[in-house]
Amino acid sequence: MNSIYAITPVNLSLEKIISKTSNLLELGIKTYQYRDKNNDLNIIKDNSKILLELIKENGGELIINDYPEIALEIGADGFHLGFEDYQKKKNQNFLKTHLNLIKNNYIKGLSCKWNLGLVSNPPEDILDWDYLAVGSFFKSQTKKDISLARSDMIMKEVLLKTKKPLYSIGGINNENIINLKKMGYKKFAISNGVYAFEEHEIKNIIKINNEGN
C-alpha cells in the first residue's frame, strides 16, 4: 500500500468518482478505498467492479469498505472494517469460512478511532490486520460521527502503540498534512482532500508526503 490512501467520498456520483480517480492515478496515487454508505449491495458491487477495472489498468489497488464478501467476489485487493463491523456475527462467520483464502491474498484494515487500547491490541483472534487507521484528526465530511483528537499528546502517543502500518484519517488536506508529518505520521488516508481539491493542491499533498521519505 502507498503512503497516500485515497478514500472515495459517499456524496459523489460514480461518474465523478471515476473521473477524479483517473486524474489521481495519473498523479501517482495508487491505493484506493471504495466507501459507500447509501446504496444497496448490488449497486456497491457493480460500482466497485467498474472502479476496480480502472485502478487495475493503472497499476493500483482497491480496498472495499465494510463488505469483505464484495472484495472477495470481485477480486479486489482487500477490505476495511470498523471495529463495530468486525464484531458483527455475519462478518466474523464470513472471515472464518474464507480464512485460508483471505489471510494470504487480501489486504485487511481496521479502524480504531482514538481507542489507544485497540491500536495496541487489535482483535486478531480470527486474522491478522495488515494496517490500522486512527482518527479523526480534523473536521471531516467522511467521519462526522467520530470525535477529534483532544491534544497533540494523544496524536503522538498513538504512534507508539503499534508496529503495524498506521494511517491517519479525517479531514487531512494540503494545508494540515505538514503538521502530521512533523508529528511523525508517514501514512495518510484522505478523502475530500484529494477528491474535492484542485490539482495543484493535490500535488502539494504528494510533495509534502514525499519529503523526508
Separation of alpha carbons 174 and 71, rounded Å: 30
The per-residue pLDDT for 30 is 98
Distances (CA, A) of 139 to 29, 48, 84, 88, 109: 23, 27, 22, 28, 22
Look at residues 67, 84, 30 and name the one whose alpha carbon lies nearest to residue 194: 30
Backbone angles phi, psi at 8, to 5 degrees: -70, 135
Look at residues 10, 8, 9, 11 and name the one whose alpha carbon lies nearest to residue 54: 8
pTM: 0.94
The per-residue pLDDT for 154 is 87
199 pLDDT more than 70: yes
Q: Tell me the pLDDT tens digit for each residue of 138-189.
A: 876 555 544 555 578 889 999 999 999 999 999 999 999 999 999 999 999 9
The per-residue pLDDT for 6 is 98
Within 8 A by CB and 6+ apart from 121, the residues are: none
Size (the chain), residues: 213
Calculate mean pLDDT across residues 183-205.
96
Whether 6 and 195 have beta carbons less than 8 Å apart is answered as: yes
Separation of alpha carbons 183 and 4, rounded Å: 17
Q: What is the dihedral of CA 81, 85, 88, 93, to 10 degrees?
A: -20
Give the CA radius of gyration of the chain.
16
Q: What is the mean pLDDT of the chain?
A: 93
Which of the four pLDDT bands, split at 50, 70 and 90, describes residue 38?
A: confident
Calculate mean pLDDT across residues 59-77.
98
The DSSP output letter for 10 is T
Separation of alpha carbons 113 and 103, rounded Å: 24
Separation of alpha carbons 16 and 190, rounded Å: 17
